[in-house]
Amino acid sequence: MNRSRWIAVASAAFLVMGASVSVASVGPDSVLAQEADFTGSSGQGSVGQLAPVSDVPQDVPDGMWYDPETRQLRADALAIDAAAIAERTGLPVDTVLASLEAQLQMDELLAVVGSRFPDTFVGLYWNEKMQAVAQFKGQAPAEALRILEASGVGVRAELVRYSASELDALKDQVLRAIEGRGLKERVVAIDSRNQLVLVTIGRDTASDSIAIGNDLREAFGAAPVVIDTVDGPVTTEWNTYGGGAVGTATGSVCTAGFTVISGGTNGVATAGHCGSGLSLYLDPFPNPDVSHGMTYQNGVVGFWGDFEWFTTTGTEVDDFYLPNGALRDVSGVKNTFAVGDSLYWWGWASFPTLWNGTVGFTNVSAEGVSHLACMTGIGGAIGDSGGPFFTGSTAAGFVWGAALINGSWRTCFSQARYIDDAIGVSIKTS
Beta-bridge mates of residue 299:
308
240 three-state secondary structure: strand
Q: Is the pLDDT of residue 31 over 80?
A: no
Q: Is the pLDDT of residue 331 over 90?
A: yes
What is the signed CA dihedral for 291, 295, 300, 301, rounded to 10 degrees?
A: 40
pLDDT tens profile 368-424? 899 999 999 999 988 899 999 999 999 999 999 999 999 999 999 999 999 999 999
- Phi/psi for 324 (5° steps) reads -95, 10
Q: Looking at residue 94, what is its pLDDT?
A: 97
Give percent of the chain with pLDDT exceeding 90: 63
For the segment 73-79, the average pLDDT, to the nearest whole number, is 95
237 band by pLDDT with thresholds 50, 70 and 90:
low
Cα 352 to Cα 9: distance, rounded to the nearest angstrom: 12
Tell me the domain boundaries of the chain.
1-49+162-430
For the segment 77-105, the average pLDDT, to the nearest whole number, is 96
Report DSSP letters for 124-167, one per residue.
Answer: EEE-TTS-EEEEEES---HHHHHHHGGGSS-EEEEEESS-HHHH
366: Cα separation from own chain's centroid: 15
For the segment 120-133, the average pLDDT, to the nearest whole number, is 96
Q: Looking at residue 43, what is its pLDDT?
A: 27
Q: Looking at residue 292, what is its pLDDT?
A: 84
